[in-house]
A and B are shown apart, each in its own frame.
Chain A
């Protein structure tokens, strides 16, 4: 508490100084500075209130002798009063200053002064427009009755002015000067979350002046995007698209917001991530190639930074799926448009990857898988290497459509017991696990996976299947020989698929998972696998009632433990 107070005191000085500057000069610069600090100042007010409410009035004046000055300056600042909840918190702070039974004239004076401020915020005429105030009072309306109507009309009038301007920008008579539009956008910064302002925000976002440079101020874009992310404003997709095309940081912030959700609150809830992306209108907006490229770049960096975190991979897949859906809605000819979105990829590979597994009978899934594998192999290990980027680029393209790798893992387990596991599928699986591996390392992984598969298929026919046997078959079979790092994850994926699909596996699934999930990281990996699998089965309409039921149960149980 004492430490908080010290920090608060230094903040107090800082804001006192700021408020004095803002108070004295209402220039463009001070307005801009005010807009920039609105959220921070609100936070300060909130902290201030938390401290004030614990003290009585005389303790407050002793501790903060200039508190009255500070709050009075706030009361005079329409930007702060118009922002979010600042006016409410300010009122709370003022309430703390009121002394219930004043004992001397000083305390009475403070009370009277505070009451003046409170009524200034809420009901005096200082902010009123004279003739309107007189007229409405004459009509018998309370002075406050005309605000909603006036606000609506002001907004409508500005909206139509902007539209007109947009249409005949060279008609100088009623033309809005660029500076006026800039100033209007600045004034809107604290106001974007007022419902009355939605039409104006939309008109500003979709307004394109005749000036080469941006006329809207950056704080406006920030404020709108922030409000949009927090769902405090509802805007049509076209306006959001304009926002992101005009102001790149807004789009970047949106993506960061998404990644935050992925890592913290919505980790391993793909359905929610899908809803979240759709709420943010990301797939729709990404139909604009410029937006797509930025989103895609952000995914690429996120993957590089996190060393291919499974959450990010899964989100990229969900995004790609929703994006393709949105594109299909907009443009039936999407297969030809793909060059725009993946300019450096091999067109035939893109087309193959784009095939929706749902449109192909399940028995034939291995065909596209083989083709994808061959094409990738040729690009990564063959001669065409240079023209389509390095292995990472190919891998990055492939993981957009990562469900193919998941399908490959499932397919490998379905292979007849005596048959050899198809090399193409093994290669695809190994490649999806570690794009950076060289040819030798990949062969080693393939051999390892193949061996695990062999052991697992043998166990399929074993009449007495035990959890220990399965664990041994999946990994710890041989001691000493160091496996490639990606191997562990791959074999766990195979093992988990085995548990879901093999009747014997289902019976001991819980036991096996308890054995392998020794660390938090592996538990999360299992949760992620189950979540992604169920998500994929749902949208591919895979009919597998028993595996699905088990997966759902396991997921609920593990989420409960995590």
Chain B
């Protein structure tokens, strides 16, 4: 076990170096050794993939490694991030070396001979690296073709294939981080929030929260029975983090479309309460313009009446428990304001009137 872990750490270093200019000192023998390691680790993956204890131990090592790398720079080097990655570690190494211009001519030539021996090479054990790299290129082209010729953004965000894929990857990753360390997912998400385009991230969060509970993506990797701990599902981790980060939650409720938020709120009562609280808070910031007869915000970040109304309206079209909660909340706000029935005095009266006439 120890030697295996050591192997893993050494290979992680090799992977890290494979992207740098240090490979200029590599000769064919170095390339050969690196490829042999990758081959060995892939073998380890096949051998121990379903062995929970070894898997978890290795996973923890990888998480630590990843955390250290992440602390040292703005973005962690994509590499050996989880046990699953061992399956493709030879791909990863090969692709990095192929793309690294610092690799000398002799070493590169040797790399090509190893990766692409040409036709007529019998498929030794299972698939050859040559075959799987070609398949990778083929899939890339396939994605490209579909994306530019047949793909159309799905208005239902969580059913959009690009969103769905990102959401699945996020949940998968959260699960792994959680397996390594209990605090892992939260820390991971916070660091991610700093690093990736936030608008897309918010959409991915919504899509992830709306994925069916047991996405087929997650079913493929079953741990053997009696595995030491059952990790919390990625979705729960995500919700927990989101509710704990008020700035993210505010951005989430502010920037996503009303229909999407209603779907998420319908699924998670904890989230729907926070959402409702935010909406009410936003409503309190609006003032009434007597002359024009409209509600308006005084600060640029205030939410316009139209948007507020459309969010409440969408919520009121949701199935019962949510719809009732929203109406009850609005009515209690109206009562607190003095239970006026004439427009222009309380925003809640006006919202209820508008909702009533539109319903």
Contact = CB atoms under 8 A, between A and B. Distances in A.
Interface in A131-180: 131-132, 134-151, 153-158, 160-161, 174, 180
Interface stretch (B140-148, B241-249, B250-258, B347-355): B140-148
Q: Which 9 A-B pairs have the closest CB atoms?
A: A81-B141, A153-B161, A82-B141, A88-B134, A138-B196, A140-B81, A119-B99, A123-B95, A87-B137
User: Which of B85, B130, B141 has the largest number of chain A CB atoms within 10 A?
Assistant: B141
B66 A101 contact: no
A139 B85 CA distance: 13
Contact of B136 (A95, A122, A184, A190): A122
A180 B76 CA distance: 41
B78 A140 contact: yes
Interface stretch (A110-118, A350-358, A363-371, A425-433): A110-118
Contacts of A138: 75, 192, 195-196
B150 A158 contact: yes
Nearest to A77: B141
Interface residues of A, number: 69
Contacts of B146: 151, 154-155, 158, 187
A148 B87 CA distance: 14
B166 interface: yes
Assign chain B's interface to a size class: 35 or more
A191 interface: yes
A100 B141 contact: no
Interface of B: 66, 75-76, 78-79, 81, 85, 88, 91-92, 95-96, 98-99, 101, 105-106, 108-109, 112, 116, 118-119, 130-131, 133-134, 136-147, 149-152, 154-155, 159-162, 164-166, 168-170, 173, 192, 195-197, 200-201, 204, 217
B141 A87 contact: yes
Given A87-B137, A139-B192, A151-B146, 16 more contacts: A81-B140, A88-B134, A100-B106, A118-B98, A134-B197, A135-B204, A137-B75, A140-B78, A141-B78, A142-B92, A144-B95, A150-B161, A150-B165, A153-B165, A157-B161, A194-B142
B105 A150 contact: no
Nearest to A102: B105
A194 B106 contact: no
Contacts of B166: 132, 135-136, 146
A183 interface: yes
Contacts of B217: 149
A67 interface: no
B98 to A, nearest CB: 5
A131 B145 contact: no
A60 to B, nearest CB: 15
B99 A124 contact: yes
Nearest to A80: B141
B147 A154 contact: yes
A149 B168 contact: yes
A129 B149 contact: no
A149 B169 contact: yes
Interface string A183-199: 11011001100101100
A547 B101 CA distance: 74
A456 interface: no
B75 A184 contact: no
A87 B106 CA distance: 24
Interface of A: 31, 49, 53, 78-79, 81-82, 85, 87-88, 91-92, 95, 98-102, 108, 111-112, 115, 118-119, 121-124, 127, 129, 131-132, 134-151, 153-158, 160-161, 174, 180, 183-184, 186-187, 190-191, 194, 196-197
Nearest to A121: B137
B168 to A, nearest CB: 6
B151 A154 contact: yes
A174 B162 CA distance: 18
B54 to A, nearest CB: 21
Contacts of A49: 119
19 contacts: A31-B149, A87-B134, A87-B137, A88-B116, A88-B131, A91-B137, A92-B118, A95-B116, A98-B109, A99-B105, A118-B112, A122-B137, A122-B140, A131-B200, A138-B192, A142-B91, A143-B78, A150-B143, A184-B150
Contacts of A161: 152
A88 B147 CA distance: 22
A531 to B, nearest CB: 34
A558 to B, nearest CB: 34
Nearest to A116: B101
Contacts of A53: 118
B164 A153 contact: yes
A127 B143 contact: yes
A140 B76 contact: yes
A79 B143 contact: no
Contacts of B139: 147-148, 151, 194, 196
A174 B204 CA distance: 23
Contacts of A174: 155
Contacts of B66: 140
B130 A88 contact: yes
B106 A101 contact: yes
